[in-house]
Structure 1
Amino acid sequence: MNNNHKIAVFPGSFDPITLGHCDIVFSALRLFDKIIIAIGDNSKKKSMFSIEKRKIWIYKTFLNKCSKIEVDSFNGLTISFCIKKKVKFLLRGIRNHLDFEFEKEMFFFNKKLNKNSKIETICIFSSYDNFFIRSSMVRDVMKKGGNYTVFVPQSVRI
């Protein structure tokens, strides 16, 4: 892709991918030529599913529907991954005021960490129908044998 294309990285644990994540991606597809869904290894979280399993779910969720999506994984800082991929946009989802405050802090932290970086953070709000969905809550419902299928795309319904 040439330098004029708008490419964004959408990072997350996606453990599992939820309908809330899907909202953000489908909304962002109108803004970007390509979205890299980047599965990060978050040292603060113990993952329930392997990165490979999460990649398969994401592929099945999006790649049959849209050629503008790439799936990747990374370790380390999200901003370092963005620089490595030479992207100009970091895509983040916002569910509520707590997410907004967190993302605002991360925006300024990333700017301070990489003063020469031209990466901009783009925040998109979740839909009203899915703003309350959190992967951690979905995992809890899964562990306890509840009906998690109403919170995840078809690809995750195992």
Structure 2
Amino acid sequence: MRTAICSGSFDPITLGHLDIIRRTAACFDTVWVCVSPNAAKKNQMFTPEQKLRLVEASVAEYPNVHAELWSGLLADYAVRHGADIIVRGVRNATDWDMERELARINEHLRPGLETLLLPAAAKYEHFSSSMAREMIRYGQPLEEYLPPAAAELVRKIREETNKEGA
């Protein structure tokens, strides 16, 4: 049985992320989506628990995909789930360079841990969580950027947040 890991901060999950997860799920028996806090990223919009809820809602239709929060090293997460493949999406040369570096680190930490870099589908190359957060802040239609289940959940989270702040 082959197990793969898809990881990210998912603040929030976008259609681009979901496309990589969907394509990974078609190639592997089990896919674990590792929702990892990224301390280097400023201006986080969602809590780790909210990010996990968004991911879980978005992948619910894929029976071989599971999601968890993880704050440790990705190489350790792979060991925990018996995975020997990390799948990452790349949109451009900058992503490629960064992901190649991370792949080297993970392979050093756990020899035999491979990283598979999937190019983003052309229609999602310009997508990023940063762009999605801007669309959320300015009340733009979310279905163009987020999976439908995540878009609905974002609206509910924002409503809850607005009620608490009022």
Q: TM-score range by the shorter chain?
A: 0.7 to 0.9
Name the % identity. Answer: 26
Is 1:87–2:83 an aligned residue pair? Answer: yes
Contact 1:9–1:90 (8 Å) recurs in 2: yes
Greater shift, 6-15 or 74-83, is seen at 74-83
Q: CA RMSD in A?
A: 1.5
TM alignment of 1:7-26, pairs within 5 A: 7-26=3-22
Aligned partner of 1:130 in structure 2 is: 124
Q: Deviations over 1:9-30 (max 9, x none)?
A: 1110111100000110111122
Structure 2 SS opposite 1:45: coil
Contact 1:41–1:76 (8 Å) recurs in 2: no
Distance in 1 between the 2:112 and 2:100 partners? Answer: 16
Structure 1 stretches of 4+ with a deviation exceeding 6 A read none
Deviation at 1:149, TM superposition (A): 3.0
Greater shift, 123-132 or 45-54, is seen at 45-54
Aligned partner of 1:151 in structure 2 is: 145
Q: What code does the residue aligned with 1:118 have?
A: G
Aligned partner of 1:28 in structure 2 is: 24
TM-score between the two structures when normalised by the length of structure 2: 0.84
Task: Return the structure number with greater relative CO, CA threshold 8 A, min gap 6.
Answer: 1
Q: Which has the higher helix share?
A: 2
Contact 2:106–2:113 (8 Å) recurs in 1: no
Structure 2 stretches lacking a partner, 5+ long: 156-166
Distance in 1 between the 2:142 and 2:57 partners? Answer: 18
Structure 1 stretches lacking a partner, 5+ long: none
Distance in 1 between the 2:106 and 2:32 partners? Answer: 19
Q: What code does the residue aligned with 2:142 have?
A: Y
TM-score between the two structures when normalised by the length of structure 1: 0.88
Q: What code does the residue aligned with 1:156 have?
A: A
Count of residues in correspondence between the two structures:
151
Structure 1 SS opposite 2:123: coil
Structure 2 SS opposite 1:93: strand
Deviation at 1:146, TM superposition (A): 3.0
Aligned partner of 2:97 in structure 1 is: 101
Is 1:73–2:60 an aligned residue pair? Answer: no
Contact 1:20–1:126 (8 Å) recurs in 2: yes
